[in-house]
Amino acid sequence: MTASMSGAPSAEIWQTQCAACHGDAGQGIQAVGAPALTQLSEPYLARQLTHFVEGIRGTHPDDSAGKRMALSVANVAQDDIPGLVSLITTQLPPTTPTTTVAGNPARGEDYYVNLCSACHGGNALGNDTLGAPALAGVSDWYLRTAYQAFLDGLRGQHPDDSYGAQMARLAPALDRQDDIDDVIAFIATLPPHRTR
Ligand code: HEC
Ligand code: HEC
């Protein structure tokens, strides 16, 4: 029953319902496909959580990572979301991910500037007005799987997901794995928004 969770302290919800996958400090755990969260903005985090709670993200039958996350918010109420988001952005230490994707950052920069920067920003810090999240400081393996989910039509297809649809429309502009890895390698060179 969602009502019983509503009003529980955010730190308790985090520890009991999120940390097992995202890590105590929100640093992410690659083995379960759960990304680091600490470099994302409040509006973006709030929208994604709302979308998982409302079945707008993570419901495609082939989206196994999205489904794991969607099932995990079954006991999270809308009222819990602002507190969780503020905990993630103000209480958890900023994460700096390690590099796991090999690519050519110099090649990737060209693609990034031409195809991504208009929405995600010149330094990949995101643009909340456009709904585009920060990519700098985000785990590179997650950028890869998230991009692939848009390409494969697993994300951004729900009729109420207008921001996801914008990204899904753009994704085919870069659909070769080598090119995608080059862009991700470039993004990995950019400093994140929050630093220790
Ligand atoms: C069973 C593991 C699991 C649990 C528990 C879990 N998550 Fe997740 N979470 C994931 C996975 C896997 C993804 C990546 C989904 C994808 O690839 O689309 C994710 C994605 C997210 C995203 C989207 C990140 C982005 O960049 O779009 C947010 C926000 C998030 N989780 C927050 C939470 C919060 C808050 C909780 C606790 C209420 C929680 N998660 C519990 C596994 C989990
Ligand atoms: C037209 C604007 C636009 C352009 C251009 C664009 N994006 Fe996006 N992107 C978005 C929006 C909006 C979202 C958020 C979608 C959502 O809310 O689910 C997003 C989400 C993403 C995500 C998921 C991040 C996460 O935390 O889950 C990745 C990865 C991504 N974009 C990579 C790229 C790359 C790489 C390029 C260039 C090749 C690019 N985007 C170009 C608008 C854009």
Q: How far apart are CA 114 and CA 31, in angstroms?
A: 33
For ligand 2, residues with CB inside 6 Å are: 47, 115-116, 118-120, 130-133, 135, 138, 143, 146-147, 163-164, 166-167, 170, 174, 183
Supply the pLDDT for residue 6.
54
Q: Has residue 3 got a pLDDT over 50?
A: no
**In the structure encoding, which two tokens stand for residue 110, read together?**
């060209």
**Which amino acid residue places its CA nearest to atom 34 of ligand 1?**
18
Residue 120 has pLDDT above 50, yes or no: yes
The answer on pLDDT for 94 being more than 80 is yes
Q: Answer left, alpha or beta for residue 195, where phi above 0 means left and psi between -120 and 50 means alpha.
A: beta
pLDDT class for 5, splitting at 50, 70, 90?
very low
> Does ligand 1 have an atom closer than 6 angstroms to the CB of 29?
no
Is the pLDDT score of 90 beyond 90? yes
Share of the chain above pLDDT 70, in %: 96
Quote the mean pLDDT of the chain.
Answer: 94
The structure tokens listed for 86 are: 């503020």
Closest by CA to 92, choosing from 188, 28, 146, 49, is 28
Could you tell me what percent of the chain has a pLDDT over 90?
Answer: 90
